[in-house]
Structure 1
Amino acid sequence: MRLNNPNQNHLLAALLDAEFDRLSPHLDPIMMRLGDVLYESGAAINHVYFPTSSIVSLHYVLENGSSSEIAGVGNEGMLGISLFMGGNTTPSRAVVQTAGHGYRLKSHLLLEEFNRAGPVMRLLLRYTQALLTQMSQTAICNRHHTVDQQLCRWLLLTLDRLPTSELTMTQELIANMLGVRREGVTVAAGRLQAKGYISNRRGHISVLDRHGLEGDVCECYEVVKKEFARLMSDVRQRQEVK
């Protein structure tokens, strides 16, 4: 498999041959750089995006400019679900959290495929339900769980989308993701490092003990993981058969 291949994205890999053949000539491979803004809140959706090795963070931005992450999207999904949910604008800001590759597709092409009311529609609606579960659980987690637990959840969800245990990420950026003070992330990361779960250097986090993180994380991580598995499990089986 070459460095950037559509099949690295789970949704694209799950398409039937006829659907993939219609869309693949229009898939534009792109580099997603750290900090790139794919959508601004309220902007029209001209393209949808399918990350392969990158991760994109969806933020809700308040009037005073502050924001926090409501969901992350990696190789399991896509950006631009508002397109087929009845609107042509997005309520959130989409920012590249982890640099990598992905594919861009003109929105009208995906909408045409969705409106066939066939397998693509069912696949995207099931993915949307899983994404909404992640958003709901993130809201609950940010309200009821400690910063340590939120950080464990965020690290594990990020690891699930990457082939490595090395994360290039500043504590300030993580604080912006979680919507907490940077000092809170510093203290939480220090505690995880003291337990031997992570090694934390400036702008770089190495996960040394994933099982330790899984032992300390709140139930939110497992809820999101199980819902994605429940909704997309047979999609992965069809993918393996192809």
Structure 2
Amino acid sequence: MKNRFLASLPPDDYSLVSANLTQVEFEKGRLLYDPGERVDTVYFPHDCVISLMTLMENGAAIESSTIGREGGLGLGTAFTPRISLSRAIVQVPGSAARISASQFQDIVRRSPTLQTLIHKHSDALFGHAIQSVACNALHSVEARFCRWLLTCHDRIDVDTVSLTQEFLADMLGVQRTTVTAVAGALQAKGLIRYRRGVVDILDRQGLEAMTCECYGAARRLYEKLLPISFE
């Protein structure tokens, strides 16, 4: 089980959930929810990465958080019906498991362990979003780019990340020309190889040295609240 949230469940609780899970494959760019839509499905990523994007009236967007195999999307529906507050889009393709919100709600009512884990995940995700706000306002595009690559790398099994220039610009809240310049600078330092729509991570330690404090802060928060998040 690649999803750490599901893997952390005791056998009885996991059996309740797994009996209702469906495995799915997501392509890059798959839209899961838009703001205002009812959240009717809960997703547990295995090796895909889901971005939560905040949208502006003029069409601009910026990423507020990401969800990978450390948790799930739509977990809050376990307690009450929810509408999506952001755009949830598959940023890195891969596999996931899904369950209907109504089925998940019925299971959670019977599982105090699941209730506790969901609250911890919500705290970690909220902390991640708060850190992102500070990071976007205070740190350089280069540091934020390194942070995003490292965060993504924690959630997948390979060193190659499939990303378009458009997605990178939206995630970082900058122009595409800025993405090209930053990626080129990191490539010149031997940290990544940047091809059309693909980033190869060549030197993780080098990226860690160039990123800002926000990467470590968010990672420590997840590890504190969800201890097996990045094993």
Shared fold (TM-score, shorter chain, > 0.5): yes
Q: Structure 2 CA distance, aligned partners of 1:88 and 1:138?
A: 23
Q: Where does the alignment leave 5 or more consecutive residues of structure 1 unmatched? A: 1-6
AA at the equivalent of 1:218 = C
- 1:55 pairs, out of 49, 52, 57, with 49
**Alpha-carbon distance between aligned partners in 2 of 1:133 and 1:229, rounded to the nearest angstrom:** 12
Indicate conservation of the 8 Å contact 1:82/1:89, yes or no. no
Shift in Å, 1:115: 2.9
Which structure 2 residue ranges, 5 or more long, are not aligned? Answer: none
Task: Choose which of 9, 15, 18 in structure 1 pairs with 2:9.
Answer: 15
How well do the aligned residues superpose, as a CA RMSD in angstroms?
A: 1.6
Structure 2 equivalent of residue 95 of structure 1: 89
DSSP-derived class of the 2:226 partner? helix
Percent identity (aligned) = 36
Cα distance change, pair 105–58 in 1 and its aligned pair in 2 (3 A): same
Matched, 1:185 2:172: no
1:136 aligned partner: 130
Runs of 4+ that moved beyond 6 A? none
1:216 to 181, 199, 210: 210
Q: 1:119 aligns with which of 104, 113, 120?
A: 113
1:229 is matched with which residue?
Answer: 223
1:26 partner SS: coil
Return the alpha-carbon distance in structure 2 between the equivalents of residues 69 and 207 of structure 1: 21
Q: Which has the higher contact order (CA 8 A, sep 6+)?
A: 2
Cα pair 1:82 1:90 within 8 Å, conserved: no
Asked if residue 110 in structure 1 is aligned to residue 100 in structure 2, the reply is: no
CA positional deviation for 1:86:
4.7
1:101-129 Cα shifts (integer Å, max 9, x gaps): 11110101222233346100001111111
- Determine the C-alpha separation between the residues in 2 that align with 1:182 and 1:148: 13
Q: TM-score, normalised by structure 2?
A: 0.95
Q: Does the CA-based 8 Å contact 1:36-1:95 persist in structure 2?
A: yes
Q: Is 1:67 aligned to 2:52, yes or no?
A: no
Residue number in structure 1 paired with 2:188: 194
Query: 1-side partners of 2:151 and 2:119: how far apart?
Result: 21
**Paired residue type of 1:162:** I
Aligned-pair CA distance for 1:172: 2.0
- Choose from 40, 44, 47 the match for 2:38: 44
Q: CA deviation at 1:85?
A: 6.1
| Structure 2 letter corresponding to 1:65 | G
Q: For residue 35 of structure 1, give the secondary structure of its aligned residue in structure 2.
A: coil
The amino acid that maps onto 1:182 is: R
Partner of 1:148: 142
2:42, 2:100 within 8 Å by CA — same for their partners in 1? Answer: yes
Task: Give the letter for the 2:88 counterpart.
Answer: A
Instruction: Letter of the 1:200 partner, please give it.
Output: Y
Q: Secondary structure at the match of 2:35?
A: coil
Residue pair 2:79, 2:105 contacting (<8 A) in 1 also:
no
Structure 1 residue 81: Cα displacement: 3.3
**From 174, 178, 202, the counterpart of 2:168:** 174
Structure 1 length as normaliser, TM-score? 0.90
